Amino acid sequence: MAVTWNSAKRTNGIVRYGLDSLRLKQQVESADIKVKGGNDSSYNYKAEIKNLNPGTRYYYQCGSEAGGWSAVYTFKTAPIPGKKGKYTIGVWGDTQNNAGNLAFEQTSKIVDQLAKFPLDLSIHMGDIVENGSVENSWFDFLKIAQPVTSKAPFMPVVGNHDVVNNIDQINFQKPFQIFYNSFQLPNQYLNYSYDYGNVHFVAINSGFAQGAAKVGKVLLHQNSPDYIWLEKDLSAARKNKNVTWIILYTHYPVYSFGVSHIQEWQHNLSPILDRYKVDLCLSGHRHVYERHKAIRTNAEEDLKFGSYYDHSNGTVYITNGSSGGSLQGVGGFNMSSIVFTPKEKTFTYAIMTVDGNSIHYDVYDQNDHKIDFFKIVK
Ligand SMILES: [Fe+2]
C-alpha cells in the first residue's frame, strides 16, 4: 500500500501502521526527497508499505515527531488474486475546479456521499483539476478528497486538463510533476493495470485527444507502444483463470453523444475491446452520465430489459464525468445506443459492486437519490 501526504513542514516522513488502531507498532519511512509545491506551504511525502497480508484491515497515520502526526486512518488490503467476493468500487470523474466548483464545493458533496460507502477502492475518470499546471489546485483537491482517498486506494487516469496540452512541449499529453508526486500508480502511472479479486482493471491515458487529432498524435494508434502494451495486457487477462471481469477506464469516451468521444478509437480500440471481451468501458470528459447498450463490432446488442445485461457479448460503455466540473447540459436522447441519461443537468457518482459473476452499478446524484442502476451478469 502506498501512502502519500502533504505537510507544511520539511522533515522526515513516517507512516506508522498496525492491525490495532491503538498500537501502530510498525513503521516505514518516506523514501522520496520531499518536493516543495504550491504556495510554498506544502511538501509531498510518499511511503510504500510492503509485506502486508491480503484481505486484511490495517490502521495507519503519517507524519513525524518534528512535523506532527495525522489522525489514524484505516485501509484494507486487496484480496488474493482470483478470490470472488463483494467488492465496492467508487466511480467518479471530472472533478475539475472550474466555474461553480472553484473551491471543489460541488465535488465536496460527492466526496461526502462516496465516503459513506465501504469502498475497497475508487477509480477516477480524469480531469481531476481544471488546470494541471496550477499546483494549488491539486492540493485543494487532495484536501477535499481525503475522506475517500485516505481509506481506499485512489486509482485515477489523467484527463486533458491534467496533462500538458501544448503540442510544442516535449511532455505533450503527459501529466505535470505534481501528479507523480501526489499519487503512486503501477507501470509509470499512465497506462497501467491491476487485479482486485476476480477483476482485472485497466487504466488508459487518452491525453489531449482534440489537440492530438489535429497533428496526428491521438494516443493508442495501431502498433504504437501503448497499443501493443494494451493488447498484450488484455490478452493475458482473458487467458487468466483468476479473471472474471475486465473493466477498462479512460478519460475520453469511445462512444458518447456529441463530439466528446475519440472517433479514431471506434476503429482501432473497439476491435481489441471486442476481441478480449472487455465487460465495461468507463470514461468521463463529457460532464454527464450516459449509459449505452452493449456494443460489439460497432453494432448495438439487444437489451431486452432496460437495466439488465444478461450474458451480453458486447462491452457496456458508460460516461461518468459529472462529479463537480460545470455541467454541460443534457443531450444524447437521439443517439440510438444510449439507454439512459438524466433529463436535467445532474452531478453524479457511481457505486459499482462486483459480486462474483455479477456487477451492480448504482448511480447517485449529489443528494443521494439513485438516478440509474444496471446489472451485468455472466
Ligand atoms: Fe476532459
Mean pLDDT on 353-362: 98
Distance 30 CA to ligand 1 centre (A): 33
Distance 90 CA to ligand 1 centre (A): 19
Distance 117 CA to ligand 1 centre (A): 26
Distance 346 CA to ligand 1 centre (A): 17
Strand-pairing partners, residue 194, are: 201
Distance 251 CA to ligand 1 centre (A): 7
Distance 174 CA to ligand 1 centre (A): 14
Distance 255 CA to ligand 1 centre (A): 14
Distance 17 CA to ligand 1 centre (A): 37
Res 4: pLDDT: 93
Cβ 62 vs Cβ 26: under 8 Å: no
Query: Which residue carries 485512489 as its cell?
Result: 154
Distance 92 CA to ligand 1 centre (A): 13
Distance 86 CA to ligand 1 centre (A): 31
Cβ 94 vs Cβ 347: under 8 Å: no
**Cβ neighbours of residue 272 under 8 Å, at least 6 residues apart?**
227, 230, 231, 234
Distance 266 CA to ligand 1 centre (A): 18
Distance 256 CA to ligand 1 centre (A): 13
Distance 160 CA to ligand 1 centre (A): 5
Distance 94 CA to ligand 1 centre (A): 7
Res 217: pLDDT: 92
Distance 176 CA to ligand 1 centre (A): 16
Chain segment 173-231, per-residue pLDDT in tens: 999 999 998 999 999 999 999 999 999 999 999 999 999 999 999 999 988 999 999 99
For residues 252-265, b (16+ Cβ closer than 10 Å) or e, as one string?
bbbbbbeebbbebb
Distance 329 CA to ligand 1 centre (A): 15
Res 169: pLDDT: 95
Q: DSSP character for 292?
A: E
**Helix, strand, coil content of the chain in percent (nearest 5):** 15, 35, 50
What is 86-377's CATH number? Answer: 3.60.21.10
Beta 289-296 vs 299-300: how paired, if at all? Answer: antiparallel
Res 305: pLDDT: 77
Query: Which residue carries 487477462 as its cell?
Result: 237
Amino acid in position 197:
G
Residue 205: name the closest of 226, 221, 222 by CA.
226
Checking if the pLDDT of 376 tops 70, the result is yes
Distance 206 CA to ligand 1 centre (A): 10
Helix (H) or strand (E) holding 351: strand 348-355
Distance 161 CA to ligand 1 centre (A): 6
Amino acid in position 111:
V
Q: How is the chain split into domains, by residue range? A: 2-76, 86-377
Chain segment 129-188, per-residue pLDDT in tens: 999 999 899 999 999 999 999 999 999 999 999 999 999 999 999 999 999 989 999 999
Query: Which residue carries 471530472 as its cell?
Result: 94
**Cβ neighbours of residue 255 under 8 Å, at least 6 residues apart?**
261, 266, 292, 295, 317, 337
Checking if the pLDDT of 345 tops 60, the result is yes
